[in-house]
Amino acid sequence: MINLYNTHIASLSIHRVGNKSRNEGLLLSNEPYKLDDELTPLLKEYFLKPFRDKEENYFHFTHDADLEFHTLYQHIQEVFDNPESIHEVSKAITRHLFDQSMHPHIKSGEVYVAYLEGLQIDNQKVDGIGIFKSEIKQDFLQFSETQHQLQASLQQGVNLNKLDKGALIFNIQEEEGYKILSVDSNRYDARYWLEQFLGVDAFADDNFFTKKYLKFCQDFAKDVVLPAEDKKEEVLFMNRAVNHFAKNDNFEETAFMNEVIDNPDLIPEFRHYKTERAPKYSIEDVSSFPIANTAVTAARKKIKNVINLDTNIQIKMDFINPESAERFVEKGWDEEKQMYYYLVYFNQEQKS
């Protein structure tokens, strides 16, 4: 978990980077930006709000050979070792971003490099480095008054309600490539920011494994449980899977299968499916791990618990009390109508 409310911007450098393939320039500021009481809180909200609203999917710097050859990792390490160097290093970071700006779709924009103090991650207070980029400019009207007459002029500027790209690098787990959060509002050049500039990969922590294993279960339910059983059993399987994660602090695969898989015939199918598909989810050697509650909550919101029928009727299952569906919903076949049906038992209708 992160807490960014007490974060303080200790230093800020602002540069401009163009598209290298279009021969656009690079502007590096000589001095750090002088923060003031009026603009600082606005910039802090502009930089950090997207990370407060975003699911915590962590990354870390990675390199095929060794992190000592990772350009951005070396720059970040230099700043954490000597925070006073951040402005000069921010120029090198911006040059590195400029060198990756070769695709014609990549937009020019302002680059902000900030040294941040007071970030809280996993109940630990740490420093951090923020790298942000604004790209999309919006039109706005600027008014001036001359002799009791208002004059309007059209100008362009940055919308402080939407950050285009950003990365927070926490000064934690340095040897593993630090813990990093990233946002990217513009999907047309996703590889440019994450892969080419940041050079990161997913951080394999409890949040990562919880998320990946639940996604694996969701695909198993769709690909195996649904064809073997029906839509009701697919939904109930995911109900039991999510509830198992929600009520346990640690995941253990054997206990999970015994509790969640009702049909014993599906247990070997589950093992076979995992053997075949595990590399896709990066869980090939994973059978136990600490469960991240935030990942369970996020997964519960995304998993559909509705049966859509071709007669324009929906049946919504309850994730919290799945036993209700098992006790009070029955599926059958009507010979006369040659149609399937669901029989639902209840005592009285609930007022909405």
Residues 329 and 191 in one domain: no
- The model carries a pTM of 0.78
Question: Is 338 among the domain residues?
Answer: yes
Q: What is the pLDDT of residue 123?
A: 86
Domain count, the chain: 2
Residues 189 and 323 in one domain: no
Q: How many CA atoms lie within 13 A of 36 on its CB side?
A: 2
Q: Which domain covers residue 321, as residue numbers?
A: 207-344
Residues 277 and 325 in one domain: yes
Question: Is 350 among the domain residues?
Answer: no
Q: What is the pLDDT of residue 209?
A: 93
Residues 193 and 217 in one domain: no
In which element (H, E) is residue 111 found?
strand 109-121
Residues 218 and 198 in one domain: no
Residues 249 and 307 in one domain: yes
Residues 20 and 116 in one domain: yes
Hey, CA dihedral for 15, 76, 282, 234, is it positive or negative?
negative
Domain boundary among 203, 225, 244: 203
Token output for 296? 């369970």
β-bridge partners, 252: 288
234-261: b (≥16 Cβ within 10 Å) or e = bbbbbbbbbbbbeeeeebebeebeeebb
Q: How buried is residue 109: exposed, middle or buried, by Cβ count under 10 Å (0-12/13-18/19+)? A: buried
**By the 8 A CB rule, do 207 and 56 touch?**
yes
Domain boundary among 151, 168, 203: 203
Residues 187 and 230 in one domain: no
pLDDT of the chain along its 352 residues, tens only? 789 999 999 999 999 999 998 888 899 999 999 999 999 999 999 999 999 877 778 999 999 899 999 999 999 999 999 999 999 999 999 999 999 988 888 899 999 999 999 999 988 999 999 999 999 889 889 898 888 889 899 988 899 999 999 999 999 999 999 999 999 987 767 688 999 999 999 888 888 999 999 999 999 999 999 999 888 888 889 988 999 999 999 999 999 999 999 889 999 999 999 999 888 888 888 899 999 988 898 888 877 778 888 899 888 876 566 667 778 888 888 899 899 888 888 888 877 6
Q: What is the pLDDT of residue 252?
A: 96
Question: What whole-number distance in Å separates Cα of residue 72 and Cα of residue 90?
Answer: 10
Question: Is 162 among the domain residues?
Answer: yes
Token output for 140? 């706005």
Domain boundary among 155, 187, 203: 203
